Amino acid sequence: MEWLSFLKQYIQGPRWIGAIAPSSKYLATKMVKDIAFGRASCIVEYGPGTGVFTEMLLANMQPGTVLILIENNARFCQLLRKKYGHLPNVHIIHDSAVHVDQHIRQYGLDKVDYIVSGLPFASLPAEVSLDILAKSRQYLKQDGKFITFQYTLLKRGLLKQFFENVSMTRVYRNLPPAYVFSCSQ
């Protein structure tokens, strides 16, 4: 059923959803591969959608780790609240990742360890992408990582504008196949 819900949301707003189906478990595994869960005190996830990456984060997080989910789609946010709203240290926010700075400060934090992004930078307006990436870099700890995936290499240069180190892994077992970018300063 989540697959149908995802497809419906894509049809209603392809620019903001960016995919016709939820990410695969193979993509989710690659997305969390570079996270040192033992030392992470706060992880932010942009665009969690139906929670595929969220599940992987929750399965590996330490009990005291704070997880902030920022989802712009009202239907997905409702689904996330139903699935994870009862969990301690999980904060579900219905808003754009453009306002990540406000939400990090709202929870009394200065910086975060990791940002995991499911946002479709290839289809977002350029100014939105630039704003989100600038704030992501600003609010990451010095040894933190910004991890995202895209379906093309078109935005690799954009990521390199904000992060010195950008490594890439290809994931074929996803619909469509994707590139995972792990970015650090």
The string of DSSP letters for 142-160 reads EEEEEEEEESSSTTHHHHH
* Residue given tokens 């992060």 in the structure block: 163
Residue 81 counted as domain residue: yes
Lowest-confidence pick of 78-82, 96-100, 172-176: 172-176
Q: What pLDDT does 115 receive?
A: 99
Could you tell me if 181 and 152 are in contact, meaning their C-beta atoms sit under 8 angstroms apart? Answer: no
Cis peptide, bond prior to residue 14, ω within 30 of zero:
no
Residue 6 counted as domain residue: no
Residue 12 counted as domain residue: no
pLDDT digits (tens, 9 = 90+) for 27-76: 999 999 999 999 999 999 999 999 999 999 999 999 999 999 999 999 99
Burial 34-54 (b: 16+ CB within 10 A, else e): bbeeeebebbbbbbbbbbbbb
Average per-residue pLDDT for the chain: 91
Residue 136 counted as domain residue: yes
Number of domains in the chain: 1
Lowest-confidence pick of 12-21, 36-45, 100-109: 12-21
Closest C-alpha to 57, from 89, 28, 88: 28
Residue 64 counted as domain residue: yes
Mean pLDDT of 74-84: 95
Q: How far apart are CA 118 and CA 23, in angstroms?
A: 9
pTM, entire model: 0.90
For residue 175, name the pLDDT band (cuts at 50, 70, 90): confident
3 pLDDT exceeds 60?
no
Residue 17 counted as domain residue: no
Mean pLDDT of 155-165: 97
Helix (H, G, I), strand (E, B), or coil: what is residue 4?
Answer: helix
Query: Which amino acid is located at 107 in the chain?
Result: Y
For residue 149, give the CATH number of its domain. 3.40.50.150
Residue 159 counted as domain residue: yes
Q: Quick one: three-class SS letters along 7-73?
A: HHHHHHCHHHHCCCCCCCHHHHHHHHCCCCCCCCCEEEEECCCCCHHHHHHHHHCCCCCEEEEEECC
Q: What pLDDT does 17 receive?
A: 46
Q: Which two tokens stand for residue 158?
A: 């954009």
Residue 67 counted as domain residue: yes
Give the structural domain span for 174: 24-184
For residue 23, name the pLDDT band (cuts at 50, 70, 90): confident
